Amino acid sequence: MSKWASLVAGCALLLAAPAFAQSAKPRNYGIGTPATPQQIAGWDIDVRPDGEGLPPGKGSVKDGEKLFLERCAACHGEFGESAGRWPQLAQGKGTLATNDPVKTVGSYFPYASSVFDYVRRAMPFGDAQSLTNDELYAVVAFVLNLNDIVDDKFVLSKETWNQVKMPNADGFYNDDRETAEKAFWNKNPCMKDCRAPVKITGHASVIDVTPDDKTARKGGVE
């Protein structure tokens, strides 16, 4: 390398230096304390589709049925059909492409972990994290059984986890808006005579579901 060339290379390196300095070694502020394995174990309750995170224990459909009637049926119905407006847990197969899709564990959830992780952290509603691990396995086994995903004799555990096959596992695909809706990117949208004269085709007042509230219509453009 000639003297000039190496000088030029050196300058380039100097110019680039600040950027390198930023990404090379992030500053350690010495703030925060190490989390111990015991601390982590108490809070780390998530479960993945592959079963990572599953706790020790097991539960049968039979035990789950009893628990479900005691702890879950008041909201979800004895057969997971839902009471009131609480989520329906069973039925709904074959409805996703219809005008009235019913999304349940059987018809929609892609993974058993999506149920297990949720029940473990949030159910029963208002008494979260009150189920033992065995109870948790049992309740989830029963909900799967309600959806004909496992049979009446099934016992759910880490060992049997991979036997659970969810019907709608292939029902999802990654966000494709940037390609499927590419037409919405348009640098020069129409400004004049963009469509035929417009007609009103629907009125919110006809649906008539806006909450009644004496105070809701106070304002005005003054």
Binding to other proteins, residues 107-126 (CB under 8 A): 108-111, 113-115, 117-118, 121-122, 125-126
CA atoms of 17 and 132, how far apart (whole Å): 56
Q: Please, what is the Cα angle at 126 between 120 and 128, to 5 degrees?
A: 25
**In this chain, which of 15, 26, 38, 56 binds other proteins, going by CB under 8 A?**
26
Q: Which is nearer to other proteins, 20 or 125 (CB)?
A: 125
- Cis before 211 (ω within 30): no
Shortest Å distance, C-beta 66 to other proteins:
24
- Give the interface segment with other proteins, choosing from 9-17, 26-34, 54-62, 150-158 (CB under 8 A): 26-34
Q: Is 40 in the site for other proteins (CB under 8 A)?
A: yes
Tell me how crowded residue 175 is: count the other CB atoms within 10 A of its CB: 7
Cα 107 from chain centroid? 15
Q: Which is nearer to other proteins, 3 or 199 (CB)?
A: 199
Q: Is 15 in the site for other proteins (CB under 8 A)?
A: no
Q: Is 180 in the site for other proteins (CB under 8 A)?
A: yes
Residue type for position 140 = V
CA atoms of 97 and 171, how far apart (whole Å): 11
